[in-house]
Structure 1
Amino acid sequence: MSRQSSEESFEPSREPSRRSLLRAGAAGAVALTAAGCGFTGSNSAAGAAGSPGSAAAASTEPPIDVKVDGDLVYFNWADYVDPSVFDGFQKEYGVKVVQSNFDSMESMGAKLAAGNKYDIVFPSAKWTQRLAAGGKLHRIDHTALKNAPAIFDHYDYFQDPWYDDASSHSVPFTMYKTGIGWRKDKLGDLTGSWQDLWSPAANGDVFLLDDEDEVLGMAALKLGLAINTADAGDLAKIDAELKNLRPRLRGFSSDDYNNLLNGNALMTQAWSGDMVSVLNQAKDASVYGFQTAREGSPVNTDCYVIPANAEHPGTAMLFIDYMLRPENVTKNIEYIGYPMPVNGTEDAYAKLVAQFPQCVIKTEDLVTNRMFQNGTAAQGHARDAVWTDVKAG
């Protein structure tokens, strides 16, 4: 998958890279306002989106009529679906998939807040909660999806995840965790710590992901702090830690897959699924390594959602159901390197990662203290300020 942005419409074709292309806890109040995205008018913390008594739970929105109602306007990371799956969907339903891509959750949220219309979008858990709380998502009737039982009858976690009560606005897509990918032939073995990003041997050839939560979360875990902390003292420590690393970096890039394969990086903060792709595509997998840190590694899940202003929600429902067919899930797992929690496809992922145990991610890994969660708007602004400061150097 390629975390590279484009805003053009086309019938999908194979891109050059993959996703180079995650119950709120006591410490994590839920913000109903995205910094700069204005999904609601509230500046205070509140309960989880869709929680009992919330506006989401009280919705009287009629169910989506599951039928073709136009071409599918698709918004996702680039190269996140096997092109043959797109082709099959287009042929079966006589529609086109019109793609646009984003390069961060923040840019995705900004496009939705600006009123851009998409039929299917793929936010992370935190952003699914944020969008649902802001009234930006359709409710999804799982009983209208023939293949949904393969998820919800077999994976208890997704029956009622912390980010979306009863998964009422979402269907899970992928799961992943974050670690360090590196060139073993150049650097040898690492120590199993986030400190390895500071390795003198890799100085000048290290990338961090171009992702606020991932970078601040990594530094927080390295320092023994909560992954979602917005405490002023904690943020000052995180800022200083990252400022210390900043001169050693080649840059910030979410193209972790390509940066390793083409030699741009000796080491990079990396998503597990991208590393599965690297390890399976490399001529010699022994050249590369992937580790999760002993201080803790973030975990996450991306979701299918249908924006409230979607012009073709019926086609979007058909697309979700088509994507959940076991044969299509298997194709996609093998293509992108990420597990998809659909019963009957587990062996495909297990086979793919058999030689790479550090890349394995399961639903039991999705613990809230390792997932990025929403805070109040003020807390979000505080974290944004640190991120801006770190990137400015």
Structure 2
Amino acid sequence: MSPEAPPPPPPPAIAPSHPTSHRTSRRAFLRAGTAAAIGLAAAGCGFLPEDPDAHGDPDAPIDVRPDGDLVYFNWADFVDPAVFAGFEKEYGVKVVQSNFDSMEGMVAKLNAGNRYDIVFPTAKWAQRLAQGRRLRRIDHSRLRNAEAVFGRYDYFADPWYDKDSAHTVPFTMYKTGIGWRKDKVGDSLTGSWQDLWSDSVRGRVFVLDDRDEVLGMAALKLGLDIATGDDGDLDRITDTLKSLRPRLRGFSSDSYNNLLNGNAVMTQAWSGDMAAMLAQAKDPSVLGFETAKEGAPVNSDCYAIPANARHPGTAMLFIDWMLRPENVRRNIEYIGYPMPVGGSEDTYSAVVEPFPECLVTADDLRDDRFFRNGTPEGEQARDTAWTHVKAG
């Protein structure tokens, strides 16, 4: 079968903050669904037993053509609305949007039988989905613009989470660090995760409401593996975070608004959210971002088509649409995250120029500070540790 190319006010106690700005962080609603995570870990690969071929052979070639409206499932506010509108006009379809609040929540919806045409897992979750035969195989030769990714970014030609990128196309890249208000704290920090423990910011600090990010931060501070599931390591991590707990104002993944509205003077933050703040900050010079000398977690998101997608042809067209140079540039300017597509580098460099510390490249991914899938026992131990940290 020959390939068919597509046509051309702050909370009084420790709790998540409430956004006040008209635009939220792309991960503003991220929450670490602990109960869901425990259930997933207990299931081994993290998925309910199901006939992998219940909806046909997930490895069968996808006919790249409009075959219905696009049922889209992603973090909130992560694609420029104008890019959606252009896709709808180009192919005569509608984009039906839903948003998830965590990777666990995304998978829970898939396990419940919900059918989406395109989802956006992070690397470790893409690996789980692919291993569970829950994703359609993506033939890159059927995407006109795929060469701009795989011909320019060899890291993604065969990433650790998806051999030969057989089921995914990379979407964004990012790293985690510390954002702060220079007008409240000063022009520079010490360059260590220890800055979150500083007495000068006590009671005005947030960490992300995310299990892996918070446990990983403490692991790096202690010189441990970022995704350790060892009970002894996790005891040390929990003790370290308990010393931080009384200093916190809260757990929140809305670093974007917390810094802009002054709810936080220091926060654990994703690089892309910090870069996106430049579009709203009245005075960007009052904001700073650093990655810690002990190491920064890195990650990437992917486009993926679930095995039970009703409209995989439209999903393929959407991926290809998102890889068009003009759409890549527009979306990078909108979200502040780099998209690994050749020719977009200057656009991203311009976005992060005021915050050079936010710069993320494929070379950063080679540092291999990814959150990896552990054993069921290790994942459950991490869930338990996170529950103890949140409980104080």
Rounded Cα–Cα distance in structure 1 between residues aligned with 2:42 and 2:247: 37
User: Which of 23, 36, 50 is the aligned partner of 1:16?
Assistant: 23
1:229 maps to: 228
Contact 1:206 1:250 in 2 (8 A): yes
TM-score computed with the length of structure 2 as normaliser: 0.87
Identity of aligned residues (%): 69
CA RMSD for the aligned pairs?
2.0
Rounded Cα–Cα distance in structure 2 between residues aligned with 1:317 and 1:307: 12
**How far is 1:177 from its partner?**
0.3
In the alignment, structure 1 segments of 5+ residues that lack a partner are 5-13, 22-32, 44-54
Contact 1:34 1:377 in 2 (8 A): no
1:133 maps to: 131
Rounded Cα–Cα distance in structure 2 between residues aligned with 1:369 and 1:150: 23
1:67 maps to: 65
Number of equivalenced pairs: 356
User: Which of 138, 142, 145 is the aligned partner of 1:144?
Assistant: 142
Contact 1:39 1:131 in 2 (8 A): no
Rounded Cα–Cα distance in structure 2 between residues aligned with 1:202 and 1:195: 12
3-state DSSP of counterpart to 1:295? coil
2:288 maps to: 289
3-state DSSP of counterpart to 1:242? helix
1:12-37, Cα deviation, whole Å (9 max, x unpaired)? xx97223144xxxxxxxxxxx97423
2:39 maps to: 36
3-state DSSP of counterpart to 1:290? strand
1:249-264 to structure 2, matched below 5 A, reads 249-264=248-263
Rounded Cα–Cα distance in structure 2 between residues aligned with 1:346 and 1:375: 34
**How far is 1:114 from its partner?**
2.0
Distance 1:128 1:353, change over 3 A: same
**How far is 1:203 from its partner?**
1.4
Distance 1:246 1:38, change over 3 A: closer
Distance 1:214 1:150, change over 3 A: same
1:54-94, Cα deviation, whole Å (9 max, x unpaired)? x9xxx872111111111111111100001100110111111
2:166 maps to: 168
Distance 1:191 1:108, change over 3 A: same
In the alignment, structure 2 segments of 5+ residues that lack a partner are 1-15, 29-35, 47-52
User: Which of 177, 194, 211 is the aligned partner of 1:179?
Assistant: 177
The one-letter code matched in structure 1 to 2:350 is K
1:200-215 to structure 2, matched below 5 A, reads 200-215=199-214
1:84-142, Cα deviation, whole Å (9 max, x unpaired)? 00110111111111111112222122222222211111111011001111111111111
Contact 2:43 2:376 in 1 (8 A): no
1:47 maps to: none
Contact 1:73 1:98 in 2 (8 A): yes
Rounded Cα–Cα distance in structure 2 between residues aligned with 1:95 and 1:209: 37
Q: Is 1:248–2:247 an aligned residue pair? A: yes
1:281-337, Cα deviation, whole Å (9 max, x unpaired)? 311111110000000000011000011111111111110000000000000000000
Contact 2:62 2:138 in 1 (8 A): yes
Contact 1:34 1:130 in 2 (8 A): no
